[in-house]
Amino acid sequence: MTEADGGGSPAAAVTAPGAPAPEPVADERLANIGLPARLMRRPEVGSLLGALVICAFFWITTDVFGTLDGIANWTDVASTLGIMAVAVALLMIGGEFDLSAGVMTGTTGLLMGLLTTEWGLSMWPAILLTFLFAAGVGFVNGYMVVKTKLPSFIVTLATFFVLQGVNLGVTKAITGTVRVAGLGDVPGYDSASGLFSSTFWAPHNFRISVVWWIAIAALATWVLARTRAGNWIFAVGGDANASRNVGVPVARVKIALFMTTAIAAALVGIMIALRLSSVQAGQGVGEEFTYIIAAVVGGCLLTGGYGSAIGASLGALIVGMAFIGIQFSGWNTDWRFLFLGVILLLAVLVNNLVRHRAEGARR
Partner 1 sequence: MRGLRAGLLALLMVLGMAVFAAACGGDDDGGGGGSGGTPATKDDVDLTQGQDVTIAMVTHGDGGSFWAVAKKGAEDGAKQMGVTLKYSESNNDPQKQAQLIDAAVTEKVDGLAVSAPNPDALKDSLQKAVDAGIPVITLNSGADDYESLGAYTHVGQTEEIAGEGAGAKFKEAGAKKVLCIIHEQANIGLNQRCDGAKTGFGGDVENLQVKGTDDVQTTLTEIQSKLQADKSIDAVLALNPDIAVAARDAIKGAGSSAKLGTFDLSGDVVTAIQDGEIEFAIDQQQYLQGYLPVVFLTLNKTNANTVGGGQPVLTGPGFVTKDNAETVAQLAKDGTR
Quick check: 361 binds partner 1 (CB under 8 A)? no
Quick check: 52 binds partner 1 (CB under 8 A)? no
- The Cα 313–Cα 330 span in angstroms is 26
Quick check: 329 binds partner 1 (CB under 8 A)? yes
The smaller minimum CB distance to partner 1, of residues 183 and 358, is found at 183
Q: Scanning residues 235 to 294, which ones bind partner 1 (CB under 8 A)?
A: 272, 275-278, 280-283, 285
The smaller minimum CB distance to partner 1, of residues 143 and 323, is found at 323
Min dist CB 67 to partner 1, Å, is 7
* C-alpha gyration radius of the chain: 24
Type of residue found at 179: R
The smaller minimum CB distance to partner 1, of residues 117 and 308, is found at 117
Quick check: 56 binds partner 1 (CB under 8 A)? no
Strand partners, 278: 181
Quick check: 198 binds partner 1 (CB under 8 A)? no
Min dist CB 184 to partner 1, Å, is 8
Contact status, residue 48 vs residue 314, Cβ threshold 8 Å: yes
- The Cα 306–Cα 278 span in angstroms is 38
What b/e string do you get for 178-195 counting C-beta neighbours within 10 Å, with b at 16 or more?
A: ebbeebeebeebeebbee
The smaller minimum CB distance to partner 1, of residues 280 and 308, is found at 280
- The Cα 26–Cα 61 span in angstroms is 51
Torsion over CA of 351, 354, 358 and 361, rounded to 10 degrees? 110
The smaller minimum CB distance to partner 1, of residues 122 and 205, is found at 205
Q: Of 118-126, 142-150, 214-222, 320-328, which part binds partner 1 (CB under 8 A)?
A: 320-328
Min dist CB 333 to partner 1, Å, is 5
